[in-house]
A and B are shown apart, each in its own frame.
Chain A
């Protein structure tokens, strides 16, 4: 009989998680993040499929010959993973899939299925490996689960480090190498056909890996519809810089035909300076403007709506938050402010401005005494200091004409929440102003949400009538809101009028505005922004407005920080009636894709749940009852685990500033300590088996009440401290969360080991359904309700476990048979 290759299982688990994250990264570059999410989520059904196959084959660790075959299975699976990881990606790149054409090209669905099928293969193989491990070590499932979890946590670390050091085209080398390591660890003298088979497979794997390295990786075929592809077609376009990190692939393109001036007034008649375009994962991410120490070359920036603030308060200290490139920084510099502080949350962009592009900008971000740029998030920066400013300005949000197609609908954004605006407002000097701008889209949504955000912030912060401290203007493409710490004087109002008149902008609202002023230059069918502002400023009609407006324009809060989420489920029939089926997805791709993914996963789910049952011996009614209980128990566990993971990722983005950092840290902590918890579950006594459930529920209550204050306290710490604190905060919960699954599986395994593959499939299915469902829930109900949902799920799981456990035959009265 072969000795179980725990190192191989560790490497396969490591490889699988690293592969998943790397695939997501590569897919985000060649296509779009949300399509990547959908494709990979559906492909993860490979895990569930592996459970079904193992149940169908009825593989059991029975006879000696069968036992020896396990060695060969492990070896072959590792080898096939090594082969299929690059091959599937290579073939997928040949598929002409274009997500935008899904609405009318039926063959695109065929291509999409091709993607699913291809990417399902590696996950299916990995699932088979882990499932077989559970079957082989059915007496010690906790150890297998521990090895699987610790391998997964290491996978997160490896992928994260790879993003820093390995160029995207070579990234697949990492999971390939890891599967090769697993292959090497599969060596067993007793099993799998002996040394000769092993030597041939290992040598072939080594040759394949070497060929792949010599080939130089896989060149990425970026979609022709991505910003970078368009830009590189411009005359004289040149890719000037390419850098990568976990934040993404940062590229800089130069071309004489590149000109960016967001929402520029139509009354501006002069030229604009030369620029270079920034792209993150192939998507436009602002521009860098050439500066030759001549301020007059920046005059065009005074013809944008965001410049209004500079005409109201001068001189003064300016704070620019999230400048997106450096348009706002140069805008304030043009006006002659001598104390400009800018907070750039994207460290890679800041390094670029201060490094490779410093000659293009005349070193303005390194050596200019008036400008200071710092890498931080707005909330983080303000939490650590008491300075006050005369102008606080936020960069432009949204995209031109909703050009992004709402792909950011489910992205957490803690910069645009009521709590964030309150924080900004508190850092204003008396008579200071806070300004924020958004692209206008049609039907109106993003700027309207900015208006509601401004109004509700003022309501919490000022004692006087809100309308006296609020102003808003719009051009053909952008809108700007201004919140004053104090009230707008008649002189201020006059300045706003002059600013708009000179540039062909329309006022949306200011104290004493006349309806005739609001729809003069940029004519709407009805002055919707003005009408909405009037309704929103009146507390009595505000709720009615939120309820009746076709989109969700309620201001985001820290609990639901989704500024770009406008979709209202209650309005779906109305939207279908007015916009038509083809239009809805384009309003909010990100959100629709989540629903689409959930539907697809649920369509496949019954196959993976019910098919294996045909292969398990039919039994009496109690046995059927047992099946139902098992299904419910393990589904509850999977859902609860993933819901908590989703909730913590959302919350820790607030602390760590970027989804990728939060995702990596949370998955790493949860999997690592769950693995340790799984191992510790072996030593639980009979009475102790209820401990993990109780501990989990108590800890969830603790997080509900204490997490937010703790995160706010930690906000100003260094990254290292933040990360260590996050691990320390989550470790106890993760430790206990790792126990219920092996405990339950062991009970089932002792009773009937035929159920193991089926339960493995259920676990795989839950790990696909739960993240998607969790994302939808958190967007719609927020963080706290999702925590309560998880609490309830664990409570039900506990009740089910209680109903299963006492009936389990015990080998030992004091210990659970592990």
Chain B
């Protein structure tokens, strides 16, 4: 299992990585491996404002469909449109080309409420 040391995580397996004033959101390597072959990704619309923990989309694999929750409160700035044509990018490169969406956080302090890489590694060990 790969853990990106630059990211923070939720126990529901989303990651957030800071990029300037925005964050990039995706699912962890552990999550993509547990889900299996991802066949469809559906996200909310750009411009929508969501609270931390609110559902922002669904990642569907051949065996399950999982909701994706916002790691932080804020506004959706962009979606990874490449996933519409090739959802398997999430399996191949979840921290890179397989990102899900970009958000502009409205409550930067929420960053500290997320799990750091060491804590997330410990968390996933519990599964």
Query: Do chains A and B interact in one complex?
Result: no
